[in-house]
Chains A and B, each alone.
Chain A
Amino acid sequence: MRKMVSILLLAILSMGTLAFMANVANADVQTEGTWVQMRGFITHWGSTEVFGWIGAVAGMENNNGTYYEWARAHAVWSEDIFGLNCTEPRFENFTFTCYGASLISTTDVSLEGTLFTILGYWDVVQITTNVTVVTDENGYITDISWDYTIEKIVENATGELQASLSPPTVELNIAGIDTLSGTVQFLNIMYNKIKICNIAGDDKVVNIVDLVHVAKRYNSVPGLWNYDHTIDVNFDNIIDIGDLTTIAVNIEG
């Protein structure tokens, strides 16, 4: 009986060692600091019902004794709820209007519990896109082209983005426009440097899978069915060479 117990103990110990080794092998190198990544949906602009996305990433880092904070944030929303949220191409010409807010500079980043706050200066633009759809005699789309105008409606205005998990709400107050509010999709607090370009799959590396994800949506803008706010990594309201290049330089060798 004692032999049996010894063998069982040995088995448990062996498995424990194996599991521990696997964990050690997979552990990322810790960097000092806290990083936050948040995404959410905008549901209201003042009292008006809208649809939109909001995303932010921020870091509070201690680099060799020097503490610094940084943040990037962007929001896109539209009163045309169907237009911004569409996942299939439209079969006729249309004009689409939406708004974009970008954090231009950061004055403060804070995290208290799960209350995440970014203070800074923001630009807000109105984007009007004219989309021309060409179909063949069978009704299949043969070409989609567009042109858009971007009009700045607020420039370098103070603003505060606040998101929390309890309750999961997000609010963006920018001087000069009504408050944007909505729900938090996720708010991740991390103690490893975040990889903003690891956007496709969960392989934890930036590679061709991420590049293809962006390339498939190349030249798309809000209002087109294939625009994806999460891959507009430079927040310029178009998926273009800037986004591809950002992903490309982050591909890990």
Chain B
Amino acid sequence: MRKENVTVILLFTLLLLGVFALKFTVCIKTNSSTTMICVDPQTSVGAVAQNFTVNINISDVIDLYGWEFKLGWNTTVLDIVEVYEGSFLKSVSDTFFTYKVNSTAGYVIVDCTLLGMVPGVSGNGTLATVKFSVKNIGDSVLDLYDTILVDSNEQTIVHTAIDGYYYTSAHDISITNLEASQTTINVTVKNQGTFTETINVSVYYVLFVDQLIGTQTIMLEPNANATLTFTWSPPCSGSYEILAEAEVVEGEINTQDNTLTIQIYIGSDNSGFGGPRPHLKK
């Protein structure tokens, strides 16, 4: 290859590199600052139909006057419930706080600023708290992006932003229905998790102390349910509280729906099924 051709190719390469460098310089985030804004906790675990919250925390900031962030999520798994202002700015002075939710795209934009001629706030703290509800089993990055921090001189503060992560607990058993008559008790149990579970289901009645009616063991595939029938002989007529309990399986987080109670009146005339108002036992 001739010498001048090599020079031209070299020049051309340098030219292209220069163009790309110019184009991408603005996109490179600097990590020289120690100020950090992050989702806390970094990993959240929840169960279907439950709520959970994450904080958006800031650390090592100097003279923070206003902030903005966007938080995105997987809309097939999560719904946003509410956004609350954190204490970091408002503990010092009056603030203006606002947020807008885009449920379809799955993000919220949150803004907060101090008001008036006051200095900014320094240190660590919570900017906001975001409450989510879990719609379905799955996982989601809690994507913290387009974060802007502004100081009291209206200059932006260099910082880094750290995302969070959510996943649905894979183990979840639920008692979904409970019916009782003078002779039988029907308990419907559902596996809401993602693993096949072997579940011990027990039924008690309450008179003076909880009396065990019986325990049955059942294996359920994910999303399957079964109704178990327990026979019993109430010792006397009167008002009974029937309690069904599915034993907590290993790794289960949502245990609130593992028990269900109903009230039933057992008369001397063999009255029918009772308990029209089942409720979760606290």
Q: Which residues from 150 to 198 on chain B have a C-beta closer than 8 Å to any C-beta of chain A?
A: 150, 152, 154, 156
* Residue-wise interface mask of A (207-226) relative to B, using a CB-CB cutoff of 8 A (1 in contact, 0 not): 11101110110110000001
Chain B nearest CB, measured from A93 CB (Å): 18
Chain A nearest CB, measured from B168 CB (Å): 27
Chain B residue contacts of A245, Cβ below 8 A? 98
Q: Are A211 and B12 in contact (CB under 8 A)?
A: no
Q: Are A213 and B154 in contact (CB under 8 A)?
A: yes
Contact residue among A18, A215, A241 (Cβ-Cβ distance under 8 Å from B113): A215
Assess whether A24 is interfacial by the CB under 8 Å rule.
no
* Residue-wise interface mask of B (110-147) relative to A, using a CB-CB cutoff of 8 A (1 in contact, 0 not): 01011111000000000000000000000000000000
Assess whether A248 is interfacial by the CB under 8 Å rule.
yes
Q: Are B19 and A212 in contact (CB under 8 A)?
A: no
Task: State the interface size on chain B (CB cutoff 8 A).
Answer: 31
Q: Are A208 and B98 in contact (CB under 8 A)?
A: no
A14-B16, A207-B148 known; A212+B154 contact, CB < 8 A: yes
Assess whether A10 is interfacial by the CB under 8 Å rule.
yes
Q: Are A18 and B154 in contact (CB under 8 A)?
A: no
The docked-state distance in angstroms from the alpha carbon of A207 to that of B8 is: 46
Q: Are A212 and B65 in contact (CB under 8 A)?
A: yes
The docked-state distance in angstroms from the alpha carbon of A213 to that of B4 is: 56
Q: Count the A-B residue pairs with Cβ separation under 8 angstroms: how many?
A: 81
Among A1-9, A161-169, A182-190, the stretch in contact with B: A1-9
Chain B residue contacts of A215, Cβ below 8 A? 65-66, 96, 113-116
A208-B111, A211-B113 known; A3+B16 contact, CB < 8 A: no
Task: State the interface size on chain A (CB cutoff 8 A).
Answer: 28
Chain A residue contacts of B107, Cβ below 8 A? 253
Q: Are A7 and B9 in contact (CB under 8 A)?
A: yes
Q: Are B70 and A253 in contact (CB under 8 A)?
A: yes
Q: Are A216 and B116 in contact (CB under 8 A)?
A: yes
Chain A residue contacts of B19, Cβ below 8 A? 15, 18
Chain B nearest CB, measured from A243 CB (Å): 10
Chain B residue contacts of A208, Cβ below 8 A? 66-68, 111, 113, 148, 150
Closest residue of chain A to B102 (Cβ to Cβ) is A253
Q: Are A216 and B100 in contact (CB under 8 A)?
A: no
Chain A residue contacts of B4, Cβ below 8 A? 4
Contact residue among B12, B68, B102, B113 (Cβ-Cβ distance under 8 Å from A11): B12
Residues of B within 8 A of A (CB): 4-5, 8-9, 12, 15-16, 19, 23, 65-68, 70, 96, 98, 100, 102, 107, 109, 111, 113-117, 148, 150, 152, 154, 156
Chain B residue contacts of A14, Cβ below 8 A? 16
Contact residue among A15, A211, A212, A244 (Cβ-Cβ distance under 8 Å from B15): A15
Q: Which residues from 233 to 253 on chain A have a C-beta closer than 8 Å to any C-beta of chain B?
A: 241, 244-245, 248, 251, 253
Can you list 16 pairs linking A and B with CB atoms under 8 Å apart? A3-B5, A11-B12, A11-B16, A15-B16, A208-B113, A208-B148, A211-B68, A211-B111, A212-B150, A215-B66, A215-B114, A218-B115, A218-B116, A219-B115, A241-B96, A251-B68
Contact residue among B65, B70, B96 (Cβ-Cβ distance under 8 Å from A248): B96
Q: Are A248 and B156 in contact (CB under 8 A)?
A: no
The docked-state distance in angstroms from the alpha carbon of A10 to that of B13 is: 11
The docked-state distance in angstroms from the alpha carbon of A213 to that of B67 is: 12
A15-B19, A215-B116, A218-B115 known; A209+B154 contact, CB < 8 A: yes
With A211-B68, A251-B98 given, can you name 19 additional A-B contacts, CB distance below 8 Å? A8-B8, A18-B19, A22-B23, A209-B148, A209-B150, A209-B154, A209-B156, A211-B96, A211-B111, A213-B154, A215-B113, A215-B115, A216-B152, A219-B116, A226-B117, A248-B111, A251-B68, A251-B100, A253-B70
Q: Is the interface of A mostly helix, strand, loop or mixed?
A: helix
The 10 closest A-B pairs by CB, nearest first: A208-B68, A212-B66, A215-B113, A218-B115, A248-B98, A212-B150, A11-B12, A253-B109, A218-B116, A208-B148
Assess whether A57 is interfacial by the CB under 8 Å rule.
no
Q: Are A4 and B96 in contact (CB under 8 A)?
A: no
Assess whether A175 is interfacial by the CB under 8 Å rule.
no
Chain B nearest CB, measured from A218 CB (Å): 4
Chain A residue contacts of B23, Cβ below 8 A? 18, 22
Chain A residue contacts of B66, Cβ below 8 A? 208, 211-212, 215
The docked-state distance in angstroms from the alpha carbon of A226 to that of B154 is: 14
Chain A residue contacts of B113, Cβ below 8 A? 208, 211-212, 215
Assess whether A154 is interfacial by the CB under 8 Å rule.
no
The docked-state distance in angstroms from the alpha carbon of A8 to that of B23 is: 21
